[in-house]
Amino acid sequence: MAKPLILVTNDDGITAPGLRALIRFMKEIGDVVVVAPDSPQSGMGHAITIDNTLYIKKITVDPKDGALAEYSCSGTPADCVKLGLRELLDRKPDLCVSGINHGSNSSINVIYSGTMSAAIEAGIEGIPAIGFSLCDYGWNANFEPGKEAIQQIVRQAIVQGIPKGVVLNVNIPKTDSDTPMGIKVCRQARANWKEEFDKRTSPNGKEYYWLTGEFELLDNGEDTDEFALSKGYISIVPTQFDLTAYHAIQQLNTWKLNA
């Protein structure tokens, strides 16, 4: 029986330790092809390149990682998936996995995440997709404690399938133990970023701004991703790319609007 074909991508760049770990984890499950940005693309959301050229280069970062092929892309995470599906793969992948991101993509962070946007782009194309993130921003973060759970989730996604129109957002807590407490399926916590702009002056006297901010959790629910992560559990949030607020349609239809 043929192994499943797994497309691996990320937003931290093709040399990021989290991506290299995910490649190694996936090669134990299927055949792996990598298409990832040639430089960090964190916070790019679902941006695509429409006013510039795109370049692809076939490379090998580390032969021991075991990918069938690796490509670095000059574009965004969403560009990587588009090019992978349209230009580089000779058949439709059975699964797309994105990550492992260096840092959390739980709660409202999913909106800004290049990691999740790459997975969502695959989902739009009808490819079952999962974004993985570790709640540790360190470049030398330890990804091994999440290996067993990541592989378990991926195997279940391949065997059971992911509901149509749904992409999984998986966040792994930073833990000092060998493994997380377990896995919980959750809803996205309500939260926001209290943002500020630090006004600075460059050496040549030009003013510029640097974005800073503080994460504000606005949700006390015990069924959220933030709660699960705070207790040492891996969170799985089923996300969708249909942004329609169906519950609001009836109310809007009461507005006095000229047809």
- In our burial notation (b when 16+ CB lie closer than 10 A, e otherwise), range 166-181 reads bbbbbbbbbbeeeebe
In angstroms, rounded to a whole number, what is the distance separating the alpha carbons of residues 22 and 11? 13
Mean pLDDT to the nearest integer, 14-35: 97
Domain boundaries, the chain: 5-189+220-252
Mean pLDDT to the nearest integer, 214-232: 94
Q: How confident is the model at residue 44, as a pLDDT?
A: 85
pLDDT tens string 120-149: 999 999 999 999 999 999 888 999 999 999
- The DSSP bridge partners found for residue 213 are 195
Q: 42 among the known binding-site residues?
A: yes
pTM of the model: 0.94
Q: How confident is the model at residue 85, as a pLDDT?
A: 97
In angstroms, rounded to a whole number, what is the distance separating the alpha carbons of residues 36 and 10? 6
- Asked if residue 211 has pLDDT above 80, the reply is yes
Mean pLDDT to the nearest integer, 192-212: 91
- Asked if residue 51 has pLDDT above 70, the reply is yes
Instruction: Give residue 212's pLDDT band: very low, low, confident or very high (50, 70, 90).
Output: confident
pLDDT tens string 143-152: 999 999 999 9
Do the beta carbons of residue 6 and residue 97 sit within 8 Å? yes
Does the domain made of 5-189+220-252 have the CATH classification 3.40.50.10860? no
* Token duo for residue 72: 């670095």
Mean pLDDT to the nearest integer, 226-236: 97
In angstroms, rounded to a whole number, what is the distance separating the alpha carbons of residues 115 and 171? 11
Average pLDDT, the chain: 94
Do the beta carbons of residue 152 and residue 108 sit within 8 Å? no
Q: 235 among the known binding-site residues?
A: no
Q: 12 among the known binding-site residues?
A: yes
Mean pLDDT to the nearest integer, 11-40: 96
Mean pLDDT to the nearest integer, 50-61: 95
- Specify the length of the chain in residues: 259
Q: 225 among the known binding-site residues?
A: no
SS3 of residue 174 by DSSP: coil
Q: How confident is the model at residue 259, as a pLDDT?
A: 65
Do the beta carbons of residue 100 and residue 22 sit within 8 Å? yes
Selection from 59, 92, 68, 79 nearest residue 9 by Cα: 79
Q: Determine which of 11-20, 94-103, 110-119, 175-184 has the lowest per-residue pLDDT on average.
A: 175-184
Q: How confident is the model at residue 195, as a pLDDT?
A: 86
